[in-house]
Amino acid sequence: MLLILFISIFDFAKVKRDVKLEPPRYVERKSINNTIKNPKRDKDIEIMQKERLIEKKFYNSFSNPKKITFTKDHGVSVDKYNQTYPSIAYDSKGNIYVAMDYYNGSTYEIDIYRSKDYGDNWNLVFYLYHASYNYRHPHIVIDKRDSIYVFYETNDTRYGFQYLESPDGDKWTIYYVSSYTFYPDSCDYPRGAVKDSLIFVTFMFDYYGNGSDYDVGYVYSKDYGASWYDYHDNIAYTTKHERFPVIAITDSVIGVAYELNNASADTDSFDIKYAYTRDFTSWTTIYGIATFHNDRYPDITGKGRYLFISCQVNYLSRPSRDWDIWMKKSSNGGKSWDGSSFLPAETSNDEKYPSIFNNQDTIFLSYLYKDSLILFAETTAVSNDWFSDTVTDMKSVVPDLRCVDLAKNSNQRMVIWTDRRHISYLPNIGYDVYFSTDYPITKDCDLSIYKPVDWSDYLIPSRIKGTTSPSETLMGSEYNGSDTTFVDFAVLSNSPVDVPDTFFIDLYVDGVLKDEFYSTPLPTGWYAYLTDWPILVMGGRHTLSIYHDSYNDITEMDESNNSYGRQWVFFPIILNDKVPKTCKTPPLPQTSFSPPDTFNCDGFRVQTSLYWGAVGIKPPSDADYQLRVYSDHYINLNTGFSDLKKESNAGKGSVDFIMLDGNHLGSGNYFYPGVYKSTGDGDYIIEWNRTDYTLGTSGWNPIDTLPGGSILKVYDIYLSGGTKYYIAVKETLTNENLGFALFSSEDGKYYKARGEWVAFRDTITQNTYKDTAYTPSITDWLGLIVWNNNPSTKGNAIFKVYVGTVPLINELSDFSINTSGNEVIIIWNSSLPVERWIIKRLNLTNGDSAFFYLKPDERCFKDKIDYSGRYRYSLFSEKDGMRSLLKEEDVYILLKTFLLSNVITKDIGIFSSSGNNLDIEIYSINGSKVFERSFKTNTSKIYKINADIPQGVYFIYVKENGIEIIREKITKF
């Protein structure tokens, strides 16, 4: 059954953070030098000649001869709320750090992640949180000592400029630089740069505090942050907006680029301005990228003698559409530009929000393409041949300011961005931060079984809803009953790579598909879980298992962790006396995740009386089902159906049963039948019968009825030891197919499989009877069972039973041959007057033959075979020297090594065929070896081994040709 479950069935959750939340703490630095703020200028700084946009647009096409190939997207943080403005940096050890802001549902916090394996796996190392204040727009830089700085914006104006610092990424301290020059003390969209001991941070601030005029300010330290200086009006302080400053440090200057809004004498609204300084206070301001179209959102990078700036330029400004990426280069450290701007990305689609990084003269660029993808490109300063690749797997980038950042070290290219891929199908998720690199990190996703922190197992069956651990007892249901088991399970996206597509999940009971589910794509670090899913499980022992990605639709890095299962015990189905039940196909005894020593089975419970009883099954004609009886009581979900007392296997389609001698087992005791299948499928009938009725021994007993749909009926017969009795069953009126067998407990065993009868007849049809004879060795109550080989609900089977010491005159000849191990048993009946019976045995393999002569009153012959093979048995009658063939039948004998008895007085009897190497070991109950012997058999026979061991209970192990075939408990008297 395919069960399609929509996303509302599944709940999704993020694996809980393992970073302890700590409140911010502020550490005052040394005294700082403040400047007094000057009055605002009334006009803009004089501008120089602006660049003209090339009216005829040339669309450049990237190539990739370097074969730059980015890996699959890796989720740095995929969480419930929005995570935005990612910033990336790396240290000398190859550790990669990403800072981002995270909306936690009430305020914004700063989250810092670290990867120690090239960006393959990410861990949250610190987060800055306050219940009343926001922390936003972080920028992360790392100095040559590997000290990490994270500059951020906050509405907590009590302390002025704030930042985080860590010497190693593990221990973090919050510092502040108090100032009286920022009105108010708001340092928005900060960007920092480091070079040697110099730390330089620029930011935009709200001059009047009402959003009418943003200016660019900065702070810097020349001693790794031991002391700070702050300035507000040296870079950009006009009456217009100067926003989104970015900073770079070369060998020559400190350069700052920013966006100027509403510059005078312009036909457009935005230009990119650039200012540089050598002495930290005196600034030279020039145009960066200034066209007659809108020029927005600058970025800057510098190293050595090279400095680059970039922005997005609006090709068609009215209406605003088709943004392109422009760039300028300086090869004298940022003091002047090397000519006009150049266009690394210009197509008829939008290219926006550039992020740039350089290593000397090599420039790296990432940007937003078509408001959905991140593209990467690089070139050298002496060439405009760009090598490119698409970074993102999905078209789901959040189109916003500073949605992308990049870095490049000696090992890899790194790109980080804000993504919205999960919003369309996960209602409880926001924007996320993803990473990609050209380094060969994990290429595939991974689905895994998962146990949430408050669950006790990976798969939980329960008799009640709302639990996170299996119930102490589990209720078994009949096949037509109600769903009394409620299942919980979870699946985890266990790789840094998202599970990109829908995948299916199968729930199995005993290796048979019970239900099927599906999940939409699963983000990295998230798990989907299903709780209280109702299913029907029969009583008995059953193995429940779960398989994630059951159709192998998802390419994973590890397929071995997709499945899980366990065997549990469910309260057995009660079998009432003379009430047959129809059940569905029983389970296979061993399926995936089943333990080796306890079998799956449909489980039932019966109660004995002081009479013989029998539990029987009738499988479909083409199915072979096995019947067992256990004695251990059901206590909880882990006990029951393990203490095996008897197993019976009558073969395909045959009525099978196990007799229980209540005369010796006692009244009111519980036993537990179990049914499993070897082959075939289909409904079967199971019935418990304890007729509590005795048969007379003086002839025919009254007519009895086996109701339609019933399998069997059991009687007690009190027989005297040493007396020969004749037993017969005759079917009257009806035309069913009956059989009967007699069972005795004179051997001290009170559980009897079908084949352990002392007398047996089968295939009794309308108006016919069959009889047999038996002489008990002791006086006792014996059990007689009558069964219907073809039970149906159409009608009753009417019959009567004969028990007496006087033989019946047979009107019909009958012949049956049965095998058990190396024993062949032939039973027949005939009214012919004979002088003797003759049995001929012919070995069809080698032609050897033998004759056996029996008395005229004998009707049973037992033969023992020494060699496996096919044999033909012929029955002859002989009188007055005339021999007549009555019946011939072939049998095939396959000899197996077996233990004759588990009770020994002197010798251990083991039957084995010729040519086997036997190794025998006996251990005491405390595990000590007390006897061992090895030998090779020279003929097929019973071998007697004299084991000189004290009285007691032992364990015997027998290996045949190196393979263990016997492991049993024995008792020495």
State mean pLDDT over 862-880.
86
Considering the domain architecture, whether residues 889 and 912 belong to the same structural domain is answered as: no
What would the pLDDT profile of 943-952 be if each residue is shown by its tens digit? 888 888 998 9
Q: How would you label 360-388 residue by residue, b for 16+ Cβ within 10 Å and e otherwise? A: ebbbbbbbbbebbbbbbbbbebeeeebeb
How does residue 8 score in pLDDT terms, banded at 50, 70 and 90? very low
Residues 366, 52, 294, 361: what is their CA dihedral angle, to the nearest 10 degrees? 20
Residue 8 has phi, psi (to 5 degrees) of: -65, -25
595 found inside a domain: no
Q: Please report, as a single letter, which amino acid is at residue 640.
A: G
State mean pLDDT over 476-481.
88
What is residue 265's predicted lDDT score, i.e. its pLDDT?
47
pLDDT at 472 over 70: yes
By the 8 A CB rule, do 103 and 433 touch?
no
Total of domains in the chain: 4
Considering the domain architecture, whether residues 769 and 904 belong to the same structural domain is answered as: no
How does residue 538 score in pLDDT terms, banded at 50, 70 and 90? very high
Q: How would you label 803-814 residue by residue, b for 16+ Cβ within 10 Å and e otherwise? A: bbeeebebeeeb
State mean pLDDT over 454-463.
96
6 found inside a domain: no
Considering the domain architecture, whether residues 389 and 273 belong to the same structural domain is answered as: yes
Domain final position from 893, 910, 940: 893
Overall size of the chain counted in residues: 973
Residue 962's CATH number: 2.60.40.3080
Considering the domain architecture, whether residues 83 and 165 belong to the same structural domain is answered as: yes
pLDDT at 10 over 60: no
Residue 467's CATH number: 2.60.40.10
pLDDT at 343 over 70: yes
Considering the domain architecture, whether residues 512 and 407 belong to the same structural domain is answered as: no
How does residue 505 score in pLDDT terms, banded at 50, 70 and 90? very high
* More reliable by pLDDT, 901 or 705: 705
What would the pLDDT profile of 669-693 be if each residue is shown by its tens digit? 999 999 999 999 999 999 999 977 8
Q: How would you label 55-85 residue by residue, b for 16+ Cβ within 10 Å and e otherwise? A: eeeeebebeeeeeeebbbbbbbbbbbbbbbb
Residues 787, 790, 791, 797: what is their CA dihedral angle, to the nearest 10 degrees? -60
Q: Which of 190-204, 382-396, 457-471, 625-639 has the lowest mean pLDDT?
A: 382-396
- In angstroms, the CA 951 to CA 954 distance is 9
State mean pLDDT over 193-218.
91
Considering the domain architecture, whether residues 126 and 249 belong to the same structural domain is answered as: yes
Considering the domain architecture, whether residues 68 and 172 belong to the same structural domain is answered as: yes
Identify the top-confidence range among 833-847, 873-887, 906-920: 833-847
How does residue 647 score in pLDDT terms, banded at 50, 70 and 90? very high
What is residue 655's predicted lDDT score, i.e. its pLDDT?
96
Residue 98's CATH number: 2.120.10.10
Q: Which of 121-135, 136-150, 318-332 has the lowest mean pLDDT?
A: 318-332
Domain final position from 513, 542, 570: 570
Considering the domain architecture, whether residues 343 and 482 belong to the same structural domain is answered as: no
- In angstroms, the CA 455 to CA 383 distance is 60
What is residue 885's predicted lDDT score, i.e. its pLDDT?
77
624 found inside a domain: no
- In angstroms, the CA 522 to CA 12 distance is 9
What is residue 193's predicted lDDT score, i.e. its pLDDT?
98
What is residue 23's predicted lDDT score, i.e. its pLDDT?
31
Domain of residue 727, residue span? 689-893
Considering the domain architecture, whether residues 47 and 62 belong to the same structural domain is answered as: yes
What is residue 361's predicted lDDT score, i.e. its pLDDT?
86
* CA quadruple 390, 394, 398, 399: dihedral sign: positive
608 found inside a domain: no
State mean pLDDT over 478-483.
87
By the 8 A CB rule, do 896 and 806 touch?
no
| Average predicted confidence (pLDDT) for the chain | 87
How does residue 765 score in pLDDT terms, banded at 50, 70 and 90? confident
168 found inside a domain: yes
668 found inside a domain: no
What is residue 42's predicted lDDT score, i.e. its pLDDT?
32
What is residue 320's predicted lDDT score, i.e. its pLDDT?
65
What would the pLDDT profile of 36-90 be if each residue is shown by its tens digit? 333 333 333 333 334 433 333 333 444 444 567 899 999 999 988 999 999 999 9
- In angstroms, the CA 556 to CA 46 distance is 61
Considering the domain architecture, whether residues 814 and 947 belong to the same structural domain is answered as: no
621 found inside a domain: no
Domain final position from 405, 437, 469: 437
**How far is residue 639 CA from its own chain's centroid?**
25
State mean pLDDT over 914-933.
88
How does residue 658 score in pLDDT terms, banded at 50, 70 and 90? very high
How does residue 267 score in pLDDT terms, banded at 50, 70 and 90? low
Considering the domain architecture, whether residues 839 and 921 belong to the same structural domain is answered as: no
What would the pLDDT profile of 309-329 be if each residue is shown by its tens digit? 999 998 775 556 789 999 999
pLDDT at 278 over 80: yes
Written as six digits, the tokens of 687 are: 């019935």
What is residue 382's predicted lDDT score, i.e. its pLDDT?
66
State mean pLDDT over 531-559.
95
* Bond preceding residue 184 cis, omega within 30 of 0: yes
pLDDT at 226 over 70: yes
- In angstroms, the CA 51 to CA 72 distance is 40
pTM of structure: 0.72
961 found inside a domain: yes
CB-side neighbour CA atoms (13 Å) of 10: 29
The region that residue 682 occupies, defined by phi over 0 for left and psi between -120 and 50 for alpha, beta otherwise, is left
pLDDT at 833 over 90: no
Q: How many CB atoms lie within 10 A of CB 30?
A: 10
What is residue 232's predicted lDDT score, i.e. its pLDDT?
67
Percent of the chain residues topping a pLDDT of 90: 63
By the 8 A CB rule, do 92 and 78 touch?
no
Considering the domain architecture, whether residues 419 and 475 belong to the same structural domain is answered as: no
pLDDT at 181 over 90: no
